[in-house]
Homo-oligomer: A and B are copies of this chain.
């Protein structure tokens, strides 16, 4: 392998890539080399779900010394698994389609595959198959397939006025890492490293979705892929409701400290995107049970507000309109990399530090 690692993919060709890169890694997977991959043998009644997403340029490449496809690989798996998490599904596997320039080195390709595979392992799933082809620009697309118990699938719909909104996961790590990298805050090395690690290795909230689906405590769910406001707004629109958000959020300690030093309110970081949290809707009377069920699994969650018959989305005791973070594709807020300072301003406004 030591010699091959320095070669370009077009030195190997498709057949060489198959034999020298993919077979050593995936050759033990049943169905390896076949036209279609084997996902699973299912014997119990199931609702099958699938989701597909292409990977944007990870924000973290802005903080890191050199571009490294490991981060894109990890993110590719997470973003797809996060969509499965929102349904409460158990993942059966992923298939991945990679378009890479011919000049990509074997080392770079291996880093991409390491990122995808490590992320799948951390989430208890696997790459079942895929496709690699050459093209002018890097384009990474994956599809995650999962199963739900019949009648237990969580959807965006199913919420009623009075239902509570729980935010599952620990938000703010990605943008705290960005603020640290841009010099808006400083932390002791260990804390800084932990923030950076969490930013680079976001996890999908699969177990939280599964618990809320299995117990019936979740009424609806959606992941936070474009910002918390975009998520709450979509849940409101789907259900013909509004929401009253507290605007309070207790961030993890190092993230809270970055917010403080950067002159930001904790909620400014809580409502960002990139940490792949899940918003779960529960009946008001089920909140305590739901929080307990999540805690039992070691999953952190906070109540952030209530759905209302009034269709407005408001925040705080005064009920002022909330127009929060909502990244949107085919618009100016569609993320495609760029300068870190500009990006921080676009997402968080101008930090005061």
Contacts and interface: CB of A to CB of B under 8 A. Distances in A.
A54 B97 contact: yes
B99 A50 contact: no
A303 interface: no
A50 B156 contact: no
A251 to B, nearest CB: 25
Interface in A179-204: none
B97 A35 contact: no
Given A38-B153, A329-B14, A330-B9, A50 B145 contact: yes
A97 B52 contact: yes
Interface in A319-341: 328-331, 334, 336
A13 interface: yes
A41 B150 contact: yes
Interface stretch (A130-138, A242-250, A261-269, A286-294): A130-138
Given A45-B42, A141-B54, A330-B12, A36 B84 contact: yes
Contact of A329 (B31, B38, B89, B134): B134
A133 B334 CA distance: 9
A14 B330 contact: yes
Given A238-B33, A330-B17, A331-B14, A139 B143 contact: no
A99 B140 CA distance: 11
A330 B22 CA distance: 14
Interface residues on A, range: 35 or more
A38 B47 contact: yes
Nearest to A48: B39
A257 interface: no
B35 A328 contact: no
A260 B236 CA distance: 65
A141 B36 contact: no
Contact of A51 (B35, B135, B155): B35
A34 B87 contact: yes
Given A45-B42, A48-B42, A97 B37 contact: no
A112 interface: no
Contact of A35 (B9, B137, B222): B222
Contacts of A41: 45-48, 150
A1 B328 CA distance: 22
A323 B218 CA distance: 60
* Residue of A34, A84, A89, A336 with highest tally of chain B CB at under 10 A: A34
A40 interface: yes
Interface string A1-21: 000000001101111010000
A53 interface: yes
Interface in A27-68: 31, 33-43, 45-54, 56
Given A14-B328, A36-B89, A41-B45, 5 more contacts: A17-B330, A38-B153, A39-B49, A50-B129, A52-B141
6 contacts: A39-B49, A39-B50, A48-B145, A54-B135, A133-B334, A135-B336
Nearest 5 Cβ contacts at the A-B interface: A143-B143, A35-B86, A39-B48, A36-B49, A14-B329
